[in-house]
């Protein structure tokens, strides 16, 4: 998939400096803003967006079909509950009534188009489980997921890239092996295992942090600043978990790319120029490893909004991941549909952003 994306950008030679963003991001781009290139950039982006819409339609359709076919049915569990009360209607009667109330009496395909028609007007309906509009529930929980994701992404970049460079510079040394082993351990640790380990050490033994939740028991009595501090305190373990399990792949990626660049001819040229080793590494080598790294990071930006399902669930942090987990296990079709369509949009946007960023950092793609 990654390969394909990159090639599609390379064939698109005129991804030129049409956008003013290039002026902001790239210091050497004071030229070549030609109208034809700009037109082709628009054309390219338009084409990509149109293709994305088609993909999105089918993704939504497949998700809807799967949701309807799930063995966990929200309606069935409600009907069971209601019918077991003394003097109530029978299960079948309840089922019939609930189905028509919730609009599930239609077939799957017609049900999907009903959902799609409403979704296009921005109406995603009410969540069955949370009994509030889906969008409202989403808005109330996305904030904490975003903050968590953003902080861990920043930490991940700050930790992984320097470590990757260091490992590449000292290839096959003890430093390199140590870093690689730690990174590999991070990649291999299952989230639930590592999170439980952290809880055991820092919550149970050392009692530094609460076991779960986003706020302490006396949260309501704190002032505004204290409240933020309290939430920050509760976010430490989830963020540590996220960073440790995710920094390894970026670090290894940086290391591999750095090694590849360090062996190239133009690095030998830079050395022959008599530049200091620092200059060779940061001015020549790192600049050339930036492209794949930016592509990776750009592709992970939309992920900030998707939440961390496992980590949030383990620490009971009311983020979008945890809430969607609850919705899915309860068979809450409107919320699950919204969340998963949203994820599909994010993924498609991520690829598009990565390709555009690619053009920003690579002059060969920018100016044909």
If binding is defined by CB under 8 A, does position 236 make contact with another protein?
no
Cβ distance to another protein smaller for residue 217 or 278: 278
Judged by CB under 8 A, the residue of 3, 4, 31, 217 near another protein is: 31
According to the binding rule CB under 8 A, does residue 363 interact with another protein? yes
Taking the C-alpha atoms of residue 91 and residue 100, their distance in angstroms, rounded to an integer, is 14
- The site that binds another protein (CB under 8 A) totals a number of residues, namely 27
Spatial CA neighbour of 248 closest among 295, 188, 299, 190: 188
Taken in order 299, 304, 305, 311, the sign of the CA dihedral is: positive
Answer yes or no whether residue 7 interacts with another protein by CB under 8 A.
no
288 counts as binding another protein under rule CB under 8 A = yes
Does residue number 82 form part of the binding site for another protein (CB under 8 A)?
Answer: no
Q: How far is CA 242 from the centre of its chain?
A: 12
Which of 11, 224, 272, 278 forms a contact with another protein (CB under 8 A)? 272
Alpha-carbon distances of 64 from 122, 127, 173, 237, rounded to whole Å:
17, 15, 52, 35
Least distance to another protein, CB of residue 348, Å: 29
How far is Cα 109 from Cα 115, in angstroms, rounded to an integer? 10
The residue (of 207 and 265) whose beta carbon lies closer to another protein is 265
Contact string 333-362 vs another protein (x = CB under 8 A): ----------------------------xx
What is the closest distance, in whole angstroms, from the C-beta atom of residue 153 to another protein in the complex? 25
Q: In whole angstroms, what is the distance from residue 145 CA to residue 336 CA?
A: 17
What own/partner pairs with CB < 8 Å and gap ≥ 24 does 269-275 have? none
Sign of the alpha-carbon torsion through 246, 247, 253, 256 = negative
Count of alpha carbons within 13 angstroms of residue 163, beta-carbon side: 21
Nearer to another protein, 71 or 274 (CB): 274
Our CB check for another protein shows the closer of 172 and 218 to be 172
Cβ neighbours of 75 (radius 10 Å): 18
Pair 298, 6: CB distance under 8 Å? no
Q: Which is nearer to another protein, 14 or 311 (CB)?
A: 14
Shortest reach from residue 23's CB to another protein, in Å: 14
The answer to whether residue 174 forms part of the interface with another protein (CB under 8 A) is no
- The answer to the question of residue 264 lying near another protein (CB under 8 A) is yes
Q: Is 287 among the residues that bind another protein (CB under 8 A)?
A: yes
Q: Tell whether residue 274 is a contact of another protein (CB under 8 A).
A: yes
Any contact of residue 37 with another protein (CB under 8 A)? no
The verdict on 171 binding another protein (CB under 8 A) reads no
| Cα–Cα dist 11/162, whole Å | 32
On the CB side of 164, CA atoms within 13 Å amount to 28
What residues between 189 and 228 interact with another protein by CB under 8 A?
none
First to last CA, the chain: 24
Per rule CB under 8 A, is residue 364 in the interface with another protein?
A: yes
Residue ranges that bind another protein, judged by CB under 8 A: 28, 30-31, 172, 264-266, 268-277, 279, 283-284, 287-288, 361-364, 367
């Amino acid at each position: 998939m990654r390969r394909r994306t990159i090639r599609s950008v390379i064939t698109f030679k005129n991804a030129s400096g049409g956008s003013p963003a290039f002026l902001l991001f790239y210091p050497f781009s004071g030229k070549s803003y030609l109208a034809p290139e700009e037109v082709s950039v628009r054309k390219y982006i338009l084409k990509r967006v149109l293709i994305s819409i088609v993909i999105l339609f089918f993704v939504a359709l497949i998700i809807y079909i799967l949701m309807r076919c799930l063995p966990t049915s929200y309606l069935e569990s409600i009907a069971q509950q209601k019918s077991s009360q003394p003097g109530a209607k029978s299960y079948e009667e309840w089922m019939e009534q609930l189905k028509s109330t919730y609009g599930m009496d239609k077939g799957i395909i017609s049900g999907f188009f009903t959902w799609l028609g409403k979704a296009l007007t921005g109406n995603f309906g009410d969540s069955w489980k949370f009994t509030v509009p889906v969008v409202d529930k989403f808005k109330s929980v996305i904030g904490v997921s975003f903050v968590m994701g953003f902080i861990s992404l920043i930490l991940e970049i700050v930790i992984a890239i320097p470590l990757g460079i260091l490992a590449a510079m000292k290839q096959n040394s003890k430093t390199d092996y140590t870093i690689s082993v730690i990174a590999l351990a991070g990649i291999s640790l299952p989230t639930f295992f590592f999170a439980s380990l952290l809880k055991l050490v820092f919550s149970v033994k050392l009692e530094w942090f609460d076991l779960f939740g986003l706020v302490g028991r006396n949260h309501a009595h704190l002032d505004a600043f204290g409240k933020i501090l309290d939430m920050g305190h509760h976010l430490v373990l989830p963020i540590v978990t996220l960073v440790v399990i995710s920094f390894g792949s970026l670090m290894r990626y940086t290391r591999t790319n750095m090694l590849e660049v360090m062996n190239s001819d133009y690095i030998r040229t830079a050395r022959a120029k008599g530049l200091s080793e620092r200059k060779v590494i940061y001015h020549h080598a790192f600049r050339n490893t930036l492209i794949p790294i930016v592509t990776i990071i750009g592709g992970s930006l939309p992920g900030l909004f998707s939440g961390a399902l496992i980590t949030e669930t383990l620490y009971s942090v009311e983020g979008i991941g945890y809430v969607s987990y609850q919705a899915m296990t309860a068979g809450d079709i409107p919320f699950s549909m919204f969340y998963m369509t949203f994820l599909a949009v994010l993924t498609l946007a991520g690829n598009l952003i990565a390709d555009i960023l690619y053009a920003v950092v690579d002059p060969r793609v920018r100016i044909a």
